[in-house]
Amino acid sequence: MLRQVYSTTRPGWRSPTRILLPVGLVTLVAIVLAAFSLFWAVRQSNDVSVERQIRTTERSIQAVVSELAQQQEMVAVWDDAVEKLREPQLDFDWLDANMGIWLHRTFGQDQVYILNERNEPVDAMIGGERVPVSEFGLIRPSLNSFIRDIRQTADEHGGHGHERAGSSYLTTGKAVHDAHVIQLLGRPAAVSVMKIVRESDDIPQEPGTEPLLVSVRFLDDTFPKQLAERNLIEGLHFSSSNLPRPGEVSVPLKSDYGDTIGYFIWKPELPGSKILKVIGPSTALVCALMIVVMGWLVRSLRSSMARLESTVVELRASEAHAQHLAFHDVLTGLPNRALFDDRLDRALSRSAGGEKSALLMLDLDRFKNVNDTLGHQAGDNLIRELAGRLSGLVRTHDTVARLGGDEFAILLFDIGGRTDVEVLCSRIFDAVHQPFDLLGSQAFVGVSIGIVMMPDEGVDRIDLLRKADIALYHAKNDGRGCHRYFELCMDEDVKRRATIEEELREALETGDSLKVHYQPQVAAAGRPVIGLEALIRWQHPTRGLIAPDQFLPIAEDTGLIVPLGDMVLRHVCATSKRWPNLFIAINLSPAQFRSNGFAERIVKIVRECGADPRKIELEVTENVLLGDKLTRDALRKLRSSGFRIALDDFGSGHSSLSYLRRYEVDKIKIDRSFVQHLGHTADADSAAIIKAITTLGQTIGLTVTAEGVETEDQRRFLETTGCMELQGHLFAKALPEDRIAGLMASDMRARPSART
Ligand code: C2E
Ligand code: CA
Ligand code: CA
């Protein structure tokens, strides 16, 4: 489960570039395509237009010769002209008006000559004016061959046109001419020679006597203008050399001999470019707008994507943080119980395959002391420091977890066996026993460890944790500061304890099976009964009478000791009122002192019962005096309320004498074991110890009591030592209250039978 939680899969969302790139590309391609299409259309349209203009110009140039002939034909095939030219005295006015000058004015012919049958010029016109006929001499050399040809043509072809290389003959009806494009007087010119013939047969005309009409049209002067007007081509001009400026086109003009004699040059009309000029700016504007809009879109998309991304990153970070918090202890950063459970499950599944691992449950001893005396801040520091020390002891693949409070757990994966655990435990003890520097003072704590080996002790997590807790409990019970492996018998013990706990709870509720017995305490001198010790008994319905050793530790662990203690105290109060001359001792365990408002409650109960606290002796063990500040405060409060304090089982524990010197107690009860060893050679020290304690008590003014007195020898020894009070089976066992009365009446010395 946790493995899934820790997975780092990213949710499938697109990055801005993954969206923006294709969109931007598509837009760019669209713009480029549109621009390309536009320019292609413009180019096509321009090309077509240029092509058309070139072809039109070429056609016009080709047509110039035939047009010249057609113009000539209008006057050359004419009866009147034939007749007028036969007259001996030529009528030049008529000739000008109807032929030379007319052709110039009407068709723009530059030069017109009329030749007689001997090919001599009889009339000449240049630029629309009559000139001397001698002018023909200038151009005759260039025309001689045409004149000769046309004279022969009529004879050969009888009026039918044909083509010959370098010249053309044309006949339309009666007209016969020979027309050419040539270089004339250094200029390009269309030249046509035509016979002047009768129109009808009304007048006679001898073949070979026909006069000739010669027309010249220069192509470099008015012709280009006319060409431009006719074909709607602006700026067309002639140039002898082909030097078009950029953007201009040219069409060559070839003479009939095939040589190029010049060029017509012009700047072609480009409709595509015109359209482009009109729609270009608006199209560019639209494109620019599109790019701007795209840019804006990209920007805003980018920024929202960036925002989204940063939100996702933040979310992920807080998710990771939450995850960490969910599975780690805040104070130490160690895995918490949830993560530890997961790791334990993993260890179990691996140990199912035969791998050995171990679970160590750790609990600090005396940690509460640190918290109580140095404060919680110091306690936190200690836990943190300890977490660091523990983490340093294990391998990286092992787990150290904090389960709460001063409870830690360690999981050792893949180990050889108990030897590895032993090594770690001794390291843990070493590490824990190093002093902790806390807020300027040093603190010492201990640790108890409960251990479960896997797979030996099962494969169920809950069961293993329970077993580790049991082992830990045993480690603590066996004096703390040690480690214990879980064993099957521990489990049985736990079951037994659980049963006892349940039954004890019931007994406390009903209250009739729990009895308080009293064991008398006698004065050494004269041995009258001077006091009683209240000792609890449990009359179990099936198991019979159960001694306190069997159920008191359970009552202490489960907190049942508190109501139990209260019950005994009420009993003691009642008994105390009945025997006002005796003091009555009651046993108090450390667990009772740890309960809330313990001292106040004791005082209150005694007051409620109307008993005298000065007649009640509180028996405590060294643990109480060594306990935390709260415990010692409570004890002091009780003592100042009038209760006498007796130190029970003296000599069995730490035997620190410092509290005796601080006058915190009124009485010492020498532990039973010393008395019982009296007279045994194996333990000669006991007598010496008893002697020392008695002397000490006398010195500092404490009453000294010996308990567990069973024999006359013991009694005698104790009396000679100076022990003031005695208690033991020699005088009486613990008895029900109603049997105390009879006992009181008799002399204890005279009643040795009381032992039974
Ligand atoms: P303790 O306070 O040391 O009580 C004296 C124990 O020694 C009693 O055992 C008593 O029966 C036993 N005893 C007295 N004289 C002799 C003797 O001559 N020979 C031998 N062998 N034993 C003798 P008990 O009644 O079993 O009590 C055991 C312990 O349980 C007590 O030890 C006391 O610490 C605790 N206890 C008993 N009653 C109460 C109680 O009401 N409250 C608390 N907190 N503890 C109690
Ligand atoms: Ca006692
Ligand atoms: Ca005792």
pLDDT of residue 520: 95
Residue 619 Cα: closest atom of ligand 1? 2
Residue 535 Cα: closest atom of ligand 1? 38
| Average pLDDT estimate for 285-311 | 84
Helices 376-391 and 367-374, axial angle in degrees (round to 10):
140
Nearest CA to ligand 1 atom 17: 708
Residue 478 alpha carbon to ligand 1 centre in Å: 20
Cα separation, 478 vs 691, whole angstroms? 30
What confidence tens digit (pLDDT) does each residue in 509-524 have? Answer: 998 899 999 999 999 8
Give ligand 1 pocket residues (Cβ under 6 A): 519, 534-536, 547-549, 552, 565, 568, 587-589, 619, 648-649, 672, 707-710, 727-729, 734
pLDDT of residue 342: 94
Q: Across the chain, which distance is largest between two alpha carbons, in Å? A: 213
pLDDT of residue 165: 36
The correct CATH number of 66-231 out of 3.40.50, 1.10.1670, 3.30.450, 2.40.50 is 3.30.450
Mutational test site, ligand 1, from 519, 533, 535, max ligand atoms within 8 Å of CB: 535
**Ligand number, closest to the Cα atom of 619:** 2
- Amino acid 212 reads L
pLDDT of residue 16: 61
**Looking at the domain covering 497-750, what would its CATH class be?**
alpha beta
pLDDT of residue 752: 46
Mutational test site, ligand 1, from 586, 587, 668, max ligand atoms within 8 Å of CB: 587
- Amino acid 385 reads E
The CA-CA-CA angle for residues 544, 545, 550, to 5°, reads 110
Higher pLDDT, 385 or 17: 385
Domain ranges of the chain: 66-231, 337-486, 497-750
DSSP assignment letter at 383: H
Looking at 271-275, 364-368, 382-386, 712-716, which range is the least confident one? 271-275
The structure tokens listed for 743 are 């006992």
| Average pLDDT estimate for 123-132 | 92
pLDDT of 1 strictly over 80: no
Looking at 132-146, 318-332, 651-665, which range is the least confident one? 651-665
Residue 522 alpha carbon to ligand 3 centre in Å: 15
**Ligand number, closest to the Cα atom of 569:** 1
Dihedral pair phi/psi, residue 128, rounded to 5° = 85, 10
- What is the number of helices (H) and of strands (E) in the chain? 25, 28
**Ligand number, closest to the Cα atom of 708:** 1
What confidence tens digit (pLDDT) does each residue in 327-343 have? Answer: 999 999 999 999 999 99
pLDDT of residue 17: 67
pLDDT of residue 624: 84
pLDDT band at 154 (very low <50, low <70, confident <90, very high): low
| CA dist 755 → 88, 154, 520, 733, 742 (Å) | 203, 187, 11, 6, 14
Fold for domain 337-486?
Alpha-Beta Plaits (3.30.70)
Percent of the chain with pLDDT over 70: 91
| Average pLDDT estimate for 103-114 | 92
**Ligand number, closest to the Cα atom of 567:** 1
pLDDT of residue 750: 45
| Average pLDDT estimate for 115-134 | 92
Burial-class residue 370 by CB neighbours within 10 Å (0-12, 13-18, 19+). buried
Q: Are 120 and 234 in contact (CB under 8 A)?
A: no
What confidence tens digit (pLDDT) does each residue in 393-403 have? Answer: 999 999 999 99
pLDDT band at 245 (very low <50, low <70, confident <90, very high): confident
Provide CB contacts within 8 A for 668, sequence distance 6+: 646, 647, 650, 660, 693, 697, 702, 703, 704, 705
> Count of CB atoms within 10 A of residue 330's CB?
9
What confidence tens digit (pLDDT) does each residue in 456-506 have? Answer: 988 899 999 999 999 999 999 888 889 999 999 998 988 888 999 999 999
Which residues, listed in sequence order, are joined to residue 585 by a DSSP beta bridge? Answer: 533, 617
Cα separation, 262 vs 253, whole angstroms? 5
Cα separation, 381 vs 331, whole angstroms? 9
Burial-class residue 745 by CB neighbours within 10 Å (0-12, 13-18, 19+). exposed
pLDDT of 206 strictly over 70: yes
The structure tokens listed for 358 are 């171990």
pLDDT of 156 strictly over 50: no
| Average pLDDT estimate for 27-47 | 87
Looking at 129-133, 401-405, 685-689, which range is the least confident one? 685-689
Nearest CA to ligand 1 atom 43: 587
pLDDT of 199 strictly over 90: no
pLDDT band at 755 (very low <50, low <70, confident <90, very high): very low
pLDDT of 159 strictly over 50: no
pLDDT of residue 414: 92
Taking the alpha carbons of 314, 319, 320, 325 in that order, is the dihedral positive or negative? positive
Q: Are 470 and 448 in contact (CB under 8 A)?
A: no
Strand order in the sheet with 483-485: 399-404, 407-412, 357-365, 446-454, 483-485
Mean pLDDT, the chain, whole residue set: 87
| Average pLDDT estimate for 350-359 | 90
| 3-state secondary structure at position 119 | coil
pLDDT of residue 581: 92
Identical fold at 337-486 and 497-750?
A: no
pLDDT of residue 169: 45
Cα separation, 666 vs 187, whole angstroms? 157
How many residues does the structure list for the chain?
756
Higher pLDDT, 249 or 362: 362
The structure tokens listed for 409 are 């757990």
